[in-house]
Structure 1
Amino acid sequence: MWWVVVVVAAVAVLATYLTWTAQRVDRLHDRSAAAARALDAHLMRRAAAAAVLAEERQSPELYAAARIALDAVPEEREAAENDLTRQLRSVPLSSDEPRDDAVIAASRRLGLARQVHDDMAREAHAARRRRVVRILLLTRRHDRPQFFDIDDPTLAPAAAVVGPPPAAGVAG
């Protein structure tokens, strides 16, 4: 009779573990999808801020890059965002100007959103590689999360140079 109790306890423990694992996989994929939506929103905000800056500065190259980034389909999104980042780096930005500051702040938030998104995708990929998850097909309802590989979008305002740069040399 004691072996029935052991079998029931083992089945209960196994069922609990499998339920917990399935819920964890679902949560990780939900969090990854939420991070992807947040990343998309930050990409749009940065491109919109860059378009406004381009109109103010009358920069057709920057405006074109911003419009391409705003209108890009998912397959072309990384290339469009990298091009926009290169265009933004070629423009001198000052933290004193409100339009420049908006682009700098949007770029910083985008860098953080990209990092969070890639971390969530990495966690979901790690959960997908577990043997139990693969055997029981616990990811069949979820698409595989994609990484978003772009250059670091963080921008820095141009430094104001007051005097000549300090000379590097040996202190005497």
Structure 2
Amino acid sequence: MELLFVIIAVLAVLGVYLSWTAGRLDRRHARIDAARAVLDAEYLRRSGAVLELASSGLMDPATSVILADAASRARTAGDDERDQAESDLTAVLTAVMDDPDDVSELRADADAATALDELAMACQRAAHARRFHNELVRGAVRLRRKALVRWLRLAGYAPMPETVELDDRVPKGLDATRE
């Protein structure tokens, strides 16, 4: 009779643990979805700030066209091409605004200074959102790799989350303007 109570207690503890782990995994997936939505919003904000700067008339026409084109491609890219388009936008921003001296000339105009501050903030927020998203993904992947989670399929049919790997560094010229 004692053995039966021990078995029931062990099964109850195991059931509670498995239920808790499944709930934790489900909450982690929901947080990843929310973090991805925030990341997409931050990338839209960044491309919007680039488009605003490009259309302001404060930069030379060739630079404005290049910035506007890269920002437009980043905004209209499909899910499969989004990471590459965002990396391309970062490359264009870096090429245009990596030199703090060039950016400081633009800052002489009050409108340009405001636009540059908004762009710098948007770039930093996008980089932080990507790091936060990737940290959540790494935590979920660690949890999903546990033996009991795999054997009992506690993740259900949810796809394995993936990190977002792209170049989103803040150009040195923009980073210097924030100091």
- TM-score scaled by structure 1? 0.86
- The yes-or-no answer on 1:38 pairing with 2:38 is yes
Q: TM-score, normalised by structure 2?
A: 0.83
Equivalent of 2:167 in 142, 147, 151: 151
Instruction: Return the match for 1:126 from 142, 161, 167.
Output: 142
The answer to whether residue 80 in structure 2 is matched with residue 75 in structure 1 is yes
Q: How does 1:88-167 map to 2 (within 5 A)?
A: 88-92=93-97, 93-94=103-104, 96=107, 97-157=113-173
**Distance in 2 of aligned mates of 1:111 and 1:90:** 18
Contact 1:35 1:113 (C-alpha < 8 Å) held by counterparts: yes
Q: 2:86, 2:168 within 8 Å by CA — same for their partners in 1?
A: no
- Largest Rg, 1 or 2: 1
The equivalences for 1:8-27 within 5 A come to: 8-27=8-27
1:34 maps to amino acid: A
State the one-letter code of the partner of 1:11: L
SS at match of 1:157: helix
How far, CA to CA, are the matches of 1:26 and 1:113 in structure 2?
21
Deviation (angstroms), 1:2: 2.0
Greater helix share, 1 or 2? Answer: 2
Inter-partner Cα distance in structure 1 for 2:76 and 2:115: 21
Q: Distance in 2 between matches of 1:144 and 1:40?
A: 19
Q: CA RMSD in A?
A: 1.8
Count the aligned residue pairs. 160
| Conserved 8 A contact 1:69-1:84 | yes
Q: Which residue of 2 aligns with 1:28?
A: 28
Whole-Å separation in 1 of the counterparts to 2:160 and 2:4? 41
Deviation at 1:21? 1.0
**Bigger RCO (CA 8 Å, 6+ sep):** 2
| Deviation beyond 4 Å, 4+ runs, structure 1 | none
Structure 1 unaligned residues grouped into runs of 5+: 161-172
**Deviation per CA, 1:22-54, whole angstroms, max 9, x where unpaired?**
111111111111111111110100011101111
